[in-house]
Amino acid sequence: MTVEPSAPQQEALWWVQQRSTRKDLYNLTWRMAVGDLDPTVLGRAWQAVVDRHEALRTALVAHDGAVWQEISATAPAVLTELAWPAPAAPAGTDLFDLVATHTHRRPFELGRAPLARLCLVTVGDRHELLLTVHHAVLDGWSVQRVVEELAQAYDVESRRPGGASTAFDSEPVPFLPHARAARTALADGSWQESIDFWVRHLGGGEPVACATVLPDRAPAGRAADDLGSPGAVLRHRLSPAAVDGVRGLTERGGMTPIAGYLAAVHVVLARGGAGARVAVGVAVANRLGERDERCVGYLTNVVVAAGTVHDDDTLDEVVGRARDDFWDGLEHQQVPYAVVHAALPVEARERIGAMPAVLLTYHGHIGGGVRLGDRETELLASPSTGATNDLALGVFEHPDGTTVEVEYDTGRFDAATVLRFLADLDGVLAHGGRADVPVHAIQVASRTAPAYRIASAHRVGPATGSADPPVADGSTVGPVNPVADVVTGLWRRTLRVDEATADSDFFDLGGHSLQVFDLMAEIERHTGAPVDVLEWLDRPTLGRLITLSGPPGTVAETAEMDGPAGDATLRAGTGDRVHLHLIRPAGGADHSIYRELVAALPQSWRITGAPDDDAGTVPALAERYASALLAQPRLPDIIGGWSFGGLVAYAITLRLRQQGVQPPRLLIVDSPPPDGAPANDDEGDLEAFVGVILRSIDAGHLVPPRLRLDDDDVEHGLGVLDALLHGHGSPVPIEVLRHRLTAMVRHWRAMGGYVSTEPVDTPAVLVDAELGHADVEGWTTLLGPGTIVVDVDTDHYAAMKEPSVRDVAAALTKLAESTVEVGASIGDR
C-alpha cells in the first residue's frame, strides 16, 4: 500500500463530507442506457479497469491532522446486478429510477477502496448501467475515460473467455504526481502569482458578486455550516432556435460554446435584477496537456467567471467579454477554489460565497456514445438528490441536440422557478442566431439578486433537527395534547393517510412489521418516551399508541402484567381459557405476523408472545424461554410459531421434557426440521434477506429473479432493498433493515447449526406450506401421537394469512379440545 498526502481539493471534499449531514453530496453517478451485457464478462472487465487505475484503488483517511491517500495494490471491483423479467413495480413507479436514486444516495466510506461501484439493472428488455464514484477520486472527465476503457475491456474479455488479462492500448496516467505537485505548489509559493490574479480579479476594483435566482423560501432546520441541501434534477432540451443561436455566437466570436452559455447565464441574471456586474462559478477540466487529458483522478476545479451586462450592449459584446474574461482566468485555473476563496478579503468572500450560488459545467460530447456491448451508451438524467449550489447547470451535447441538466436546492426553489430560469436561458440563446441583438430587447421572467444579499435576507439559525411531523387537528383523537399531536402526525406520515381516529388499526390501514420499528423509533425521538411494542400489539390502534406514549405510569395502568417480563399479551382471553404461547420468527420480527391467526381463534383463548432474545443458538434460546415459562404459575397449553419460531418451540418442549416436565402441545408452521441444513444453500445472506423482507410484506413480485449482491457490502444490499421498499410504497429506515439483517443472519446460523433426533412425544399441529414430503416425514418422527398435519395451498409467507389461518385455527381448536386437562398447574404436572 502506498500512503501519500492527499491533494488539496481531495482534502477539501473530505472535510465537506464530515461536516455535512448529507453524505452523498459528492457522489457522482452516470446512469447509462446500455444493451444486453453479460454480467460475468462485465465483472471481469470492471476488475481490469480498477486494477489499471490507482485512483480506483484510493481511500482517504485522516491521520495526524491531515488527510492522506491510501492506494492499495489491489481492490475488489464488485459488480452488483438486479434483473426482473418484466416491469414489476406498481403503476407510476419506475424500478430504474428507484434503484438509481438509492444506489446514488448510499454514502461511500472514504477510508475504504474502491470509492466506486458498478450496478447492472435489467427490467424486461431494458438495461441500465450505474457507475457511481466519489468526486474526491474521479471527476467527470475521468468517468468518461473509465467508461471508454470499461467498454474496451468488455470487448476484449467477451472475445477471450476464461478471464485472460485485458490488454489496454496505452499505459495509465496516475493521479498521484498531480497530488504531489499541488501539495508542493501550495507549500512553496508556486501558486502565489495565480492567487494574486484571483484576488485582484475578484477582490479589487469593481466589486464582483456571485448572483442567483430569488429563492421561493428560506431553508429551515439546517445548521449554518452544513454545506449540503436536499436537491433534485431537471432536464431541459434546448430548442432548435437556441441550438442555432449558440452556433451563431461561437462562429461570430471565434470561440468555443462555453462562452456563449456563460454569457447567456450572465444576461439572465443581470436582466432579472442582479445588477450589471454578475458572476457565476464555472467547473473547468484543469487539464493542460495530453497527459492530463489521459489522467484518471480528480483534477476539475471551480473558477469564478465575472461578467458585465449593460442594457445598451449587444449580446455579441457580452459574449465577447465573457470569452476574454474566462480565457484570462484559465491560465490560473489550477489553484483550488478553496485556496482562492481563503485568500480573498472578507468582503469579497461574502460576495462570492464558499461555493458559487450558480455553477455552470460545459460537458460537451462526454457522457455518451461509448460502444459497450451491442450498442452505444446513452447518458440519462442524474439520480442526484442533494445540492451544493442553488443551481448547478450541466450542458451535454449529443448528435440530435443539446440538453441542459440542472441540479437545484429543493429547500429553496420550486421546480417551476427552475423551469422558468431554463426557459429564460433558452430564450437568450435563441437571440444568438442574429447579430447585434441589443440586451434591452431581451426579456426574462426570472427574478434574481446578488447571492450574498439573499443569504443575509434569509439567514438560517443553528440546526434544530428534522422538521416536526404533521400535526393532527385533535378532533379525531380526543382532547388536544402534545403527545397526541406528535403521535398522530407520525402515524399519518408512516401510513401515508390523511385522517386518523383513535380506533384506527395500524395493520388494517396497510401497515406492516417493518414500519412498526420505524414508527416506534420516531415516536421515541420526538417524545423521549420508548413504547413497549409488545403491549401495543395487544390492540394496535392509534388511541392505544397515544396512551403508551404518554407520561410515565400510563403504560403500567393499562398493561396486563400477569406474564413473565417481556411477554406480550396478544389477547387476554376469558374464563377457563386455553393459553397459546407464540415464539417470534427469525430476524427480530414482531408478533404482528400472528395477527390474523389470533383473530381466527376463539375469543376466549389467552394468547401471548415470547420476547426477542439475542442468544446465538437454538438450544440457548430454548433454555432461556423454558426457564421463563417455568417461572409462570401455569405452563401454556400450546406453544409454537411460524418458521424459525416453530423450530425453537420444538426445542423448548424438548428442554422441558429433559427437565422432567410434561411439555405443552406444539404448533409448528412451515418450520425447517432440526436436521442442520443451511438456511441459505443457494444464495448469500443479503440476497436471501432481500427476498424474505419483500415476501413478508406481500411484495414478492419485486424480488429480482437475478440478484447479485456481495455479502461483504452490506450497505449496498440494504440500499437495494430500500429502493424496492420505496417502490412498494413501504419505505423503512436503513437502521431498521440493518437491525433485521443482523438478527436474521444470527437466526439462520442457529437453524443451520441445530441437529436433533430426539422425539418430544407431544401432539402437535404441523402446517405444511413449502416443507416438502421429506421434511414432513422428518417432523412426524419427532412429534407425538395425535399430531394433525395441515397442508395449506400457499407459499411460506402466506401460511399465517387468510385463508390459510382458518385451517390452522380449526386444527389448533381440535388439538386443544383433545387435551385432557387445560392449563394444569405446576403442582399437577
pLDDT over 90 (residue 245): yes
What's the sign of the alpha-carbon dihedral 264, 268, 271, 274?
Answer: negative
CB atoms within 10 A of CB 356: 28
C-alpha of 547 from chain center: 33
**Residue 161: is the preceding peptide bond cis (ω within 30°)?**
no
Classified as helix, coil or strand, 233 is strand
pLDDT in tens, 283-302: 999 998 889 999 999 999 99
pLDDT over 70 (residue 458): no
CA dist., res. 316 & res. 260, Å (int): 9
Taking residues 657-663, what's their average pLDDT? 90
pLDDT score recorded for residue 140: 92
Q: Which residues are CB-contacts of 495 (< 8 A; sequence separation ≥ 6)?
A: 506, 509, 510, 511, 515
CA distances to 231, 305, 418, 422, 764 from 215, rounded to whole Å, are 14, 22, 10, 15, 68
CA distances to 272, 359, 754, 815 from 410, rounded to whole Å, are 21, 16, 53, 60
pLDDT over 50 (residue 552): no
Binned at pLDDT 50, 70 and 90, residue 244 comes out as very high
pLDDT score recorded for residue 205: 74
Binned at pLDDT 50, 70 and 90, residue 229 comes out as confident
What's the sign of the alpha-carbon dihedral 788, 793, 798, 803?
Answer: negative
- C-alpha cell belonging to residue 189: 509559493
* Strand stretches in 573-678, DSSP E: 579-582, 606-609, 638-642, 665-669
Helix (H) / strand (E) element for 251: namely helix 240-253
C-alpha of 746 from chain center: 24
CA dist., res. 173 & res. 54, Å (int): 9
pLDDT in tens, 480-507: 456 777 888 888 878 777 778 888 888 7
pLDDT score recorded for residue 297: 95
What's the sign of the alpha-carbon dihedral 252, 253, 256, 261?
Answer: negative
Average pLDDT, rounded, for the chain: 85
Binned at pLDDT 50, 70 and 90, residue 470 comes out as very low
**First CA to last CA distance, the chain:** 68
pLDDT in tens, 38-59: 999 999 999 999 999 999 999 9
- C-alpha cell belonging to residue 320: 465577447
Q: Which residues are CB-contacts of 687 (< 8 A; sequence separation ≥ 6)?
A: 680, 707, 708, 709, 717
Q: Virtual CA dihedral for 190, 195, 197, 203, nearest 10 degrees?
A: -170
pLDDT score recorded for residue 567: 66
Question: What is the Cβ-side half-sphere exposure of residue 604, based on CA atoms within 13 angstroms?
Answer: 7
Buried b (16+ CB within 10 A) or exposed e, 249-272: bbeebebebbbbbbbbbbbbbbbb
Asked which of 109-113, 135-139, 150-154, 472-476 is least confident by mean pLDDT, the reply is 472-476
Question: Which of residues 572 and 532 earns the better pLDDT score?
Answer: 572
Q: What is the pTM of this model?
A: 0.76
Q: What are phi and psi of 180, to 5 degrees?
A: -65, -45
Question: Which of residues 693 and 151 earns the better pLDDT score?
Answer: 151
Angle of helix 315-330 relative to helix 257-269, nearest 10 degrees, comes to 120
Question: Which of residues 820 and 191 earns the better pLDDT score?
Answer: 191
Binned at pLDDT 50, 70 and 90, residue 367 comes out as confident
Taking residues 534-544, what's their average pLDDT? 75
* Strand stretches in 139-241, DSSP E: 211-213, 229-237
pLDDT in tens, 781-828: 999 888 999 999 998 988 988 999 999 999 999 999 885 343 333 333
DSSP 344: S
- C-alpha cell belonging to residue 768: 405444511
Binned at pLDDT 50, 70 and 90, residue 369 comes out as confident
Q: Give the residue ranges of DSSP H helices in 698-733.
A: 714-727
pLDDT score recorded for residue 53: 95
- C-alpha cell belonging to residue 370: 461509448
Asked which of 35-44, 365-374, 412-421 is least confident by mean pLDDT, the reply is 365-374
CA gyration radius, the chain: 32
Asked which of 171-180, 420-429, 691-700, 761-770 is least confident by mean pLDDT, the reply is 691-700
